[in-house]
Chain A
Amino acid sequence: MSGRPEKGSLIGYRLAAILFVLGGWLLLSWIFYSPRLELIPTPWRVATRLVELAHTELLSDILASLGEALGGWVLGSILGIAIGVLIGRITPVRLLLRPVIDFLRFISPLAWVPLAILWFGIGYWSKASIIVLISLFTVVVNTAQGVSSIDGELVKAGKSLHLSFRQRLEVALMSAMPDILVGLRYALGAAWGGVVIAELVAGDVGIGAMESFGGQSFDVAQIMVGMLTLAVLGYGANWGFMRAQQALFPWIVGNREA
């Protein structure tokens, strides 16, 4: 937050923060200790449960959640960019679709979970479709914003150079790219929340389902393993996205932190 110097003198406070969290966790797990029901398992209890689960179902659950999140994100983003470009450049489409999206954005994608189950049954698409909606709404808005604010000089230059349709599209997409990427990254972050809620309700596979089964058997350590796994996946996805962005679009700077 504060980029002021003298970092060395503050190392003690950072250590104190780590000790505070770990100490608080231990203290709570001792206060609420009960031999029958483990309300707050100790950190090492969670670690052993993690190892146990890693030998059994954890990997397949991670792959299931990853597949839903990434599949929905890719499909939603492609649709979002396409519709966003249409809204940004073609007036009739803008007149019809922009109000519809303004309305649908008020019904959060997460409120679609029951309807998605009725439409697709419990399976891949009942969850991936939620991620499609999350990504679609975010990416459409950002793309349309980026495309409609293209520098007029660029458009004129393109016209005078007699660029083909494909070249003009490329100019439009590339100058909107910083905005599109912000939308893509936000959607990727939001996708994990959508995955876990959809899997909790339509639970057959995935980390949300694993947590849900943990809850039904009062296995709090298993729920905590799920929470930590999702946190690591979310962090990793964000990190991977930033690395990919730097590699593919090194000319975009200044939208690192959201």
Chain B
Amino acid sequence: MNRFARYLPSPGGAASAVLGFLILLAVWWGTSAIFHTRAVILPSPPAVWRALTEMAAAGALGVDVRTSLVELFWGFLVGTTLGLATGMALARSRAAAAFLEPIVETFRFILPFSMVPLLVVWFGTSILGKIFVVAYACYFVVAINTAAAIADTDPLILKAARMLGYSGMRLLLRVVLPAALPRILTGLQVAIAYAWVSVIAAEYIGAQAGLGYMITNAQTGLETDKVIAGMVVIGAVGLVLSQAVALLRRLAIPYRSSAGW
């Protein structure tokens, strides 16, 4: 058995996930073929494929994917920008840290998903509420990781840089941030996953388009084939997003690779 293990894709990666999909597909196909499960409980893989291609051909799927991706983009942009700024302020200025820390430490316990009904009252079905949830979900993990990354910078590097005449903004941009980059990118990797989940969850209520809206809508109509098709699309987009951030990581810091499990 260990001989085969050598040929398997490394754990945690995209290839392993694709292999897992194939294994699961076989089990799913077998179950629905042997037990003749009712379509409302477990439709067969071909039925789900038909639902997927029909939605894609009608253009509805494209609209949903685009809506979700636009919400993701703005929410992630706002959340990570504010998170990076907060993290730097927390780590670099004692006064800012004393001011921001109680706020961050209190608000990070207020769950982003618990605000969804509030945001529906405030912003209705518009994109603003979704951007808010996504940004809020990303913000804390980026802020905390950035602050920890900068605070853990080797003091010897800082001393050397100061001795060489670096200070202020130049020290931050040319020395501190590059040294903290690996851990900051770890924060971003977690944040993109949080952001994608939040998009879906925020679309469950008070939305008019998007993948989360699509699968709850299909559930209300007992269209299980569409629900599963939507879940597969959600998984595929999630896979592409995490691969994109992992690629960014490899390009930015080729000297450090992330480990599997």
CB distance from A38 to the nearest CB of B (A): 10
Query: Contacts A104-B20, A110-B200, A114-B218 hold; do A231 and B95 have CB atoms under 8 A apart?
Result: no
CB distance from B194 to the nearest CB of A (A): 9
CB distance from A146 to the nearest CB of B (A): 10
Across the interface, do A193 and B23 meet the contact criterion of CB distance under 8 Å? no
Chain A CB within 8 A of B257 CB = no
CB distance from A231 to the nearest CB of B (A): 4
Across the interface, do A230 and B201 meet the contact criterion of CB distance under 8 Å? no
CB distance from A185 to the nearest CB of B (A): 14
| Size bin of chain B's contact surface | 35 or more
Find A231's partner among B17, B110, B236 (CB 8 Å cutoff).
B110
Find B215's partner among A96, A111, A211, A220 (CB 8 Å cutoff).
A111
CA A82 – CA B12 in complex, angstroms?
Answer: 20
Chain A CB within 8 A of B2 CB = yes
Chain A CB within 8 A of B1 CB = yes
What residues on A are CB-neighbors of B23 within 8 Å? Answer: 96, 99-100
What residues on B are CB-neighbors of A224 within 8 Å? Answer: 118
What residues on A are CB-neighbors of B112 within 8 Å? Answer: 193
Across the interface, do A1 and B113 meet the contact criterion of CB distance under 8 Å? no
Across the interface, do B219 and A114 meet the contact criterion of CB distance under 8 Å? yes
| Size bin of chain A's contact surface | 35 or more
**Looking at the complex, which of B54-62, B170-178, B180-188, B220-228 is the stretch in contact with chain A?**
B220-228
What residues on B are CB-neighbors of A20 within 8 Å? Answer: 99, 103
What residues on A are CB-neighbors of B80 within 8 Å? Answer: none
Across the interface, do A91 and B1 meet the contact criterion of CB distance under 8 Å? yes
Across the interface, do B238 and A106 meet the contact criterion of CB distance under 8 Å? yes
Across the interface, do B235 and A200 meet the contact criterion of CB distance under 8 Å? no
Across the interface, do A220 and B151 meet the contact criterion of CB distance under 8 Å? no
CB distance from B24 to the nearest CB of A (A): 5
**Looking at the complex, which of A10-18, A70-78, A151-159 is the stretch in contact with chain B?**
A10-18
Chain A CB within 8 A of B51 CB = no
CA A106 – CA B102 in complex, angstroms?
Answer: 33
What residues on A are CB-neighbors of B227 within 8 Å? Answer: 114-115, 118
Find B94's partner among A4, A104, A141 (CB 8 Å cutoff).
A4
Across the interface, do A215 and B261 meet the contact criterion of CB distance under 8 Å? no
CA A207 – CA B116 in complex, angstroms?
Answer: 13
Over the window 111-132 of chain A, the binary record of Cβ atoms lying under 8 Å from chain B Cβ atoms (1 yes, 0 no) is 1111101110000000000000
Chain B CB within 8 A of A48 CB = no
Query: Contacts A18-B102, A197-B204, A230-B114 hold; do A218 and B109 have CB atoms under 8 A apart?
Result: no
What residues on A are CB-neighbors of B24 within 8 Å? Answer: 100, 103-104
Across the interface, do B219 and A117 meet the contact criterion of CB distance under 8 Å? yes
CA A113 – CA B17 in complex, angstroms?
Answer: 21
Across the interface, do B201 and A110 meet the contact criterion of CB distance under 8 Å? yes
CA A26 – CA B163 in complex, angstroms?
Answer: 48
20 pairs, A vs B, C-beta closer than 8 Å = A10-B95, A13-B98, A14-B98, A14-B101, A17-B101, A91-B1, A98-B16, A98-B20, A99-B9, A99-B17, A99-B23, A103-B18, A105-B17, A114-B219, A118-B40, A196-B111, A223-B115, A228-B110, A230-B111, A231-B110
Task: Name B residues whose Cβ lies closer than 8 Å to a Cβ of A.
Answer: 1-2, 4-5, 8-9, 11-13, 16-21, 23-24, 40-41, 90-91, 94-95, 97-103, 106, 109-118, 120-122, 147-148, 151, 193, 196-197, 200-201, 204-205, 212, 215-216, 218-219, 222, 224, 227-228, 230-232, 234-236, 238-239, 242, 261
Task: Name A residues whose Cβ lies closer than 8 Å to a Cβ of B.
Answer: 1-2, 4, 10, 13-14, 16-18, 20-21, 39, 91-92, 94-96, 98-108, 110-115, 117-119, 141, 144-145, 192-193, 196-197, 200-201, 207-208, 211-212, 214-215, 218, 220, 223-224, 226-228, 230-232, 234-235
